[in-house]
């Protein structure tokens, strides 16, 4: 701004951004507008900042990558599963399920087994978590959401990923019967 003069173009842009943020229900912090532009406004300030997300700067070609190879998926670091994520698939781990099996009546055990599939019964919980993390990260790299089937060592792991790329759940392909639990 020159001395004594107002830059009306900047004033209108800042006012427009302020309206977007006010009517968007956010007065401070960072939000995403149409999932492509990050904007933020410090509390008690007229200053607003808008930045495009890197993956919005290119259009994927048939190979699923940006022409320049700078696709955001190529920049994703390894994502470890949280305790909450792991909790979502623990019931599909045989060693965990076997703790409750002795207390279930036969008909309830059979019903649960009919609708549940398990990870490889010979795998430890640590191995399962490691393999699910690998599969989840592979899906993130491929920008896949929804159902993703990850194959490792001849085993299939089905992983579900929310549309926002957050982990949902996972399970193996092994079906067990009550006889596995000595019934």
**Which one has a higher pLDDT value, 134 or 14?**
134
Using one digit for the tens of pLDDT, what is the confidence trace for 71-97? 444 555 889 999 999 999 999 999 999
Per-chain mean pLDDT for the chain: 77
Determine the pLDDT at residue 77: 80
Is residue 5 over pLDDT 90? no
**Segments in the chain forming alpha helices (H):** 8-23, 83-87, 94-100, 106-114, 125-141
CA angle 177/178/181 to nearest 5° reads: 110
Euclidean distance between CA atoms 58 and 62, whole angstroms: 13
């Amino acid at each position: 701004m020159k001395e004594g003069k107002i830059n009306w173009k900047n004033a209108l842009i800042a006012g427009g951004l302020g309206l977007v943020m006010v009517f968007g229900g956010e007065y401070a912090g960072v939000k995403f507008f149409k999932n492509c532009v990050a904007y933020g406004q410090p509390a008690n300030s007229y200053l607003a900042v808008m930045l495009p997300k890197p993956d919005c700067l290119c259009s994927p070609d048939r190979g699923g990558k940006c022409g320049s190879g700078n696709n955001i998926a190529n920049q994703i670091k390894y994502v470890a599963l949280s305790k909450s994520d792991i909790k979502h698939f623990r019931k599909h781990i045989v060693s965990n399920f076997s703790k409750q099996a002795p207390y279930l009546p036969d008909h309830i055990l059979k019903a649960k087994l009919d609708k549940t599939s398990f990870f490889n019964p010979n795998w430890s919980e640590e191995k399962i978590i490691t393999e699910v993390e690998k599969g989840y990260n592979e899906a993130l790299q491929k920008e896949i959401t929804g159902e993703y089937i990850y194959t490792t060592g001849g085993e299939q792991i089905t992983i579900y990923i929310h549309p926002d790329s957050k982990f949902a759940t996972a399970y193996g392909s092994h079906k067990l019967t009550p006889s596995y639990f000595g019934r």
